[in-house]
Amino acid sequence: MKFENAKVSVIRSKRKTISIQVKPNEVIIRAPIKMKEKEIEKFAESKRNWIEKHLQSLSKKQKLFENIEPYSDEEIKSFVKKAKAEIPKRVEFYAEKIGVTYNKITIRCQRTRWGSCSSKGNLNFNCLLVLLPDEIIDSVIVHELCHRKQMNHSAKFYAEIEKVFPDYKRCHAWLNRNGNRYMSRIPK
């Protein structure tokens, strides 16, 4: 199984389903441990058009951002400091509104994620959030907190988000359109 200008990796784990992640010049297929190689190849082949479309899109985005000045170490430190001061207050506000608890909050400079929530209730947020409009920050926080009710991306999960944040889809679309502008400046 080959894709033009992309390395293909298969990662097997104790999962029940197969998934595909497309990164610039890389396709990662996550599959159950016992799934046969032929089944994996058949699945990837059935998604070929989707994979190639995403590889092309990522390649175009990479070219757009090639000559952008990366953030300095001082800038990143200031983003982290500001995020540590602002994000926990917002998490506390929305956790109460949603009716969930959480464990610890970690702020990092991350290349691919705006936030995440572990099964233990630990929340991770990207320090670059402080560069985004307030409603976008809130949409990411609500997204992660709703994982405390639904640890997946099902229709039930999105229904939980929309109870608290009805404008979520618009904010999510904004982040998909504009997020790379911020993350592409993280030094390599």
79 and 37 fall within a common domain: no
Segment 29-47 shows an average pLDDT of 91
Give the least confident one: 64-68, 109-113, 116-120, 165-169: 64-68
One domain for residues 58 and 87: no
SS3 for the chain, per residue? CCECCEEEEEEEECCCCCEEEEECCEEEEEEECCCCHHHHHHHHHHCHHHHHHHHHHHHHHHHHHCCCCCCCHHHHHHHHHHHHHHHHHHHHHHHHHHCCCCCCEEEECCCCCCEEECCCCCEEEEHHHHHCCHHHHHHHHHHHHHCCCCCCCCHHHHHHHHHHCCCHHHHHHHHHHHHHHHHCCCCC
User: What pLDDT, on a 0 to 100 scale, did the predictor assign at position 8?
Assistant: 87
- Residues 13 and 102 both lie in one domain: no
The string of pLDDT tens digits covering residues 59-104 is 776 666 566 788 999 999 999 999 999 999 999 999 999 999 999 9
pLDDT value, residue 54: 81
The residue type at 157: F
More confident residue, 55 or 142: 142
Q: Let me know whether 91 and 158 are in one domain.
A: yes
Q: Residue 2: inside a domain, yes or no?
A: no
Split into its structural domains, the chain has a count of 2
CATH number (domain holding residue 159): 3.30.2010.10
Domain finish residue from 47, 65, 83: 65
Residues 81 and 55 reside in one and the same domain: no
Q: Looking at residue 66, what is its pLDDT? A: 61
Looking at the fold, whether 14 and 52 belong to one and the same domain comes out as yes
- Domain boundaries, position 55: 7-65
Instruction: Grade residue 170 by pLDDT with cuts at 50, 70 and 90.
Output: very high
At 67 the pLDDT is 62
How many Å apart are CA 119 and CA 102, to the nearest integer?
10
Is pLDDT above 90 for 163? yes
Tell me: pLDDT of 56 over 60. Answer: yes
Residue 170 lies in a domain: yes
Q: Are residues 39 and 89 in the same domain?
A: no
Q: Please check whether residues 20 and 107 belong to one and the same domain.
A: no
* Same-domain check for residues 108 and 161: yes
pLDDT at position 76: 95
